[in-house]
């Protein structure tokens, strides 16, 4: 007996526990990024759009991100050289690199890990699937390889500046 949520529920629970695969094809079959990654992207887009240092309180309020969670996210992004923090009256967080040189793919990999629907398709955390006998002949791997390539192409070409430009157009 599989239990509540069926096989997808078990897969989602495994993913949540192991959290190395960022694309979780959850119960409804749609790719899902973590809430943490969504918050990170929203915070970075706001920093890009404003073009100045913003306090955690300001980012939290304007993007409806829980303050403590945002602190953890910004520390992680700071550690990876995406943002920097300044103390003082004009202090806060700002982008360390230009927004047009920072991609969604890079941020997702920092926050959620590899962007791959199957462990055998990961470029940075490859692992052979437990039930695989021959990767070259695996029909599932061939299909999801195309999915992964298309997903990476979009994420690695879409910059935070692109996201900031979209959010300005949508709010007009």
Q: Are 147 and 117 in contact (CB under 8 A)?
A: yes
Q: Is the dihedral of CA 10, 120, 127, 33 positive or negative?
A: negative
CA-based R_g, the chain, Å = 18
Count Cβ atoms within 10 A of the Cβ of residue 59 and give its class: 0-12 exposed, 13-18 middle, 19 or more buried: buried
Tell me: pLDDT of 63 over 70.
Answer: yes
The pLDDT tens digits of the residues spanning 105-148 come to 999 999 998 888 888 888 888 888 888 889 888 898 889 899 99
Q: Which two tokens stand for residue 95?
A: 């982008």
The CATH number, out of the four listed (3.30.360.10, 3.20.20.210, 1.10.10.10, 3.40.50.300), of the domain defined by the range 34-171: 1.10.10.10
User: What global pTM score does this model have?
Assistant: 0.77
Domain ranges in the chain? 34-171
3-class DSSP assignment, residue 164 = helix
Tell me: pLDDT of 172 over 60.
Answer: no
């Amino acid at each position: 007996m599989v239990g509540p949520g069926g096989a997808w529920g078990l897969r989602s629970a495994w993913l949540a526990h192991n959290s190395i695969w960022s694309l979780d094809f959850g119960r409804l079959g749609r790719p899902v990024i973590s809430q943490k990654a969504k918050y990170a992207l929203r915070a970075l887009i706001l920093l890009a759009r404003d073009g100045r240092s913003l306090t955690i309180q300001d980012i939290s309020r304007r993007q409806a991100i829980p303050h403590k969670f945002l602190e953890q996210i910004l520390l992680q992004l700071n550690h990876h050289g995406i943002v920097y923090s300044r103390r003082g009256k004009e202090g806060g967080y700002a982008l360390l690199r230009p927004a047009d040189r920072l991609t969604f793919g890079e941020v997702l990999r920092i926050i959620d890990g590899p962007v791959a629907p199957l462990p055998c398709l990961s470029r940075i955390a490859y692992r052979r699937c437990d039930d695989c006998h021959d990767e070259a002949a695996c029909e599932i791997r061939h299909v999801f390889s195309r999915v992964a390539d298309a997903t990476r192409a979009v994420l690695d070409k879409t910059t935070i500046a692109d996201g900031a430009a979209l959010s300005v157009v949508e709010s007009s």
